[in-house]
Structure 1
């Protein structure tokens, strides 16, 4: 039986808009489909029930493949905090937990993003193998969020995302 390991990714971003606008971009399906695991041109599904216990789903279609991301809302405290689960069932049944915290900074806002990343370990892996796998997973996850957060920033500050994949 495979064990799992965990690592944490924390990222901070600043926006030139109030926290309410960033908060809404995380929960409004119209804006979600423009940046959250998808782009407007490749999005097939963007739906959610933004309440504690409610679920969300994104389906992105790229290069002939559907990529599905799903989760449940654990905590919603407008406009300061959202906590939700995340998984992509086609790759793993493991579920990560994501926390988005927003605070007002003068005329803008700061977002602190934290993802608790779970990874499956192979039976023959050494401790060094596990550390290497977690580092690679965290780095790859950070790269993906960097791209998404560029789109989020552009969306909340200008109303559109110019990058389309």
Structure 2
């Protein structure tokens, strides 16, 4: 038996701006530091080398700790599709894959977000332990992305995020 399982989180959001504006918010460090795994008030670093094989990094400082999120760009097709890896090395070396697809609408755009989540198993886990962990990882990720996507929507539609953390 593998020492991990996978689950998929899929979310869709509508934005009242062109796809390019949302696409840029995923790649531009000045925009990333305001919503992606961080807030402007707690962000210590936001770096992005937006090319296939390039890397990105966010460092957020909360409760006297630094939280680091990193990844590599696998596919960049502006302003339609972005695929990248995501991991937080302080918690795990396992890497999720995230796909962001943008579709132009008559008014604004639709973003479809898909995260392939890898869930590590602990020793002696039963099938029900694994199912419980898959649900917790899925729901926890969904909660976190919901909060981030509220900030993303505000950022791309108004130019700023009012919530400071």
TM-score per shorter chain, which class?
Answer: over 0.9
Structure 1 equivalent of residue 156 of structure 2:
156
> Deviations 1:38-91 (Å, cap 9, x if unpaired)?
001110000010000000000000111000000000000000000000000000
Superposed counterparts of 1:11-160, under 5 Å? 11-160=11-160
Distance 1:2 1:74 in 2: 25
Distance 1:14 1:6 in 2: 27
For structure 1, the 5+ residue unaligned runs are none
Distance 1:47 1:121 in 2: 31
Distance 2:128 2:24 in 1: 41
TM-score by length of 2: 0.98
Distance 1:116 1:2 in 2: 16
CA RMSD, Structure 1 to Structure 2 (Å):
1.0
Distance 2:41 2:129 in 1: 38
Distance 1:102 1:2 in 2: 34
**2:114 partner SS:** strand
Cα pair 1:58 1:68 within 8 Å, conserved: yes
CA shift at 1:123, angstroms? 2.3
> Deviations 1:26-49 (Å, cap 9, x if unpaired)?
000000000000001110000010
TM-score by length of 1: 0.98
CA shift at 1:107, angstroms? 1.9
Q: How many residues align?
A: 165
For structure 2, the 5+ residue unaligned runs are none
Cα pair 1:79 1:102 within 8 Å, conserved: yes
- Runs of 4 or more above 3 Å deviation: none
> Deviations 1:87-129 (Å, cap 9, x if unpaired)?
0000000000000000001120000000000011112111111
Cα pair 1:72 1:86 within 8 Å, conserved: yes
**1:35 partner SS:** coil
